[in-house]
Amino acid sequence: MVKEIERAGFPIVQMANLVPVAKTVGSNKIVPTISIPYPLGDPNTPEEQQWKLRYHRVGVALDALTMDVQEQTVFDVKF
């Protein structure tokens, strides 16, 4: 799906837990998430921490959309 959307010319970033799979299928911009059932917020942690994580990683993804990368890139996240 990522590829078809990118093929149509839309900048797209994939937020994925299985980064190697995202790479194999050909996503060009990848931001890691923390798990499969809850990619952007671990329910075992306080709400505040979940929000911080989600806000941060979505921010990284948004910045990734503006980056002019030349190859498949996995973007770094802080938490």
Partner 1 sequence: MKKAILYLNQFFGQIGGEDKADFAPVIEEGLIGPAAELNKKLENAEVTHTIICGDNFMGSKQDEAVETILNFLEDKEFDIFFAGPAFQAGRYGNACGVICKAVKEKFGVPVVSSMHIENPGVEMFRKDVYIFQGGHSAAKMRKDVKTMATFGDKILSGEKLLPAEEEGYFPRGIRHQVWLESKKPASDRVVEMLVKKLNGEEFETELPIPKADRVPIASPVKDLSKATIAIVNTGGIVPVDNPDRIQSASATRWGKYDVSNMERLKGGEFKTIHAGFDPAAADANPNVIVPLDALRAYEKEGKIGKVHEYFYTTVGTGTTQAEAARMGKEIVEHLKEANVDGVIMVST
Interface with partner 1 by CB under 8 A: which residues?
1-18, 22, 24-29, 33, 36-43, 50-51, 54-55, 58-59, 61-63, 65-71
Write down the least CB distance from residue 34 to partner 1, Å. Answer: 9
Whole-angstrom CA distances from 71 to 32, 53, 64, 65, 75 are 17, 26, 13, 14, 12
CB 2 within 8 A of CB 14: yes
Write down the least CB distance from residue 32 to partner 1, Å. Answer: 11
- Tell me whether residue 59 or residue 78 sits nearer to partner 1 (CB atom): 59
First to last CA, the chain: 27
Write down the least CB distance from residue 17 to partner 1, Å. Answer: 7
